[in-house]
Amino acid sequence: MADSSPSPTHILVLVASRDATSLGTADIAHARDLSGGAAPVTLSEGEAVEIPCPAPGTGDMPHIAPLREEFSRRHIDAIVVAAQGRRKRLLVADMDSTIVDCETLDDLARHAGIGERIAEITRRSMNGEMDFEAALRERVGLLRGMSATLLEAAWKDVRLNPGALELVRTMRKHGAHTALVSGGFTFFTSRVAEKCGFDEQHANTLLIEEGHLTGKVGQPILGPDAKLAHLRRLVQGHGLHMGQAMAVGDGANDLAMLREAGLGIAFHAKPAVRKEIAAQVNHTTLRTLLFAQGYAAADFVA
């Protein structure tokens, strides 16, 4: 007699932090038991698997928060995505602490000798405790009169996060459009975009006169509303629907676009962001964004 049970509508993706652990058969079996899932498919041996399962909160599948917490103890990220439309046609990514491993304005301030003062404002802004635009103006104002050569010094400290190149290059190879949209500065985003291969980049502009920072930002300021506007513009401009878009970021200024994208990923995010966004990468790298879309490691473009 044919199996009359409904086909799984979702996919549970487990990804282990390769620096801390390995995804074993016991982990996978436990995930199947918790989720009521079907046979697993290996995406990367010892690192990533996908398990077809019911929607979170239905049948045997618990809501994602307790499931995520269960595997977090083993340095394993658990993300549930809809089975249909997994591979996205658009990537909109934040830069600071997402594509790169630092906050570039904080690094700039550190070279200027006021790092701690500005870093505290950044922390409050990224956790939603301060208005983004006001925080940006305050931080940039503290740099007034300082040499623009500090920008080059700060650039030397910038490092791409693991998986950034693979994420952008793999999605582009498979036909996706990629955009770097940052509340940071074009001095950095232009270079990061070129290094990663993003199709386009958008950010704020630091105003410079006679080789010194003026302490002002060019208008209009690119904040949370502008990030969302870029997401909507790109979806419409490429003839897509929002379900075909992926957004990734870590701060409160990313929340609007993370909420609206078909798949919004909170990447090593601030508490205020983790509180709202279900799909979280807390232990692993940007490779997880590819696994979430069903790419196997063998498909990655390095």
For the question of residue 96 being annotated catalytic, the response is yes
Catalytic residue (choose from 96, 106, 107, 254): 96
Catalytic residue (choose from 27, 33, 77, 94): 94
d(CA 154, CA 6): 54
For the question of residue 101 being annotated catalytic, the response is no
Active-site residue set: 94, 96
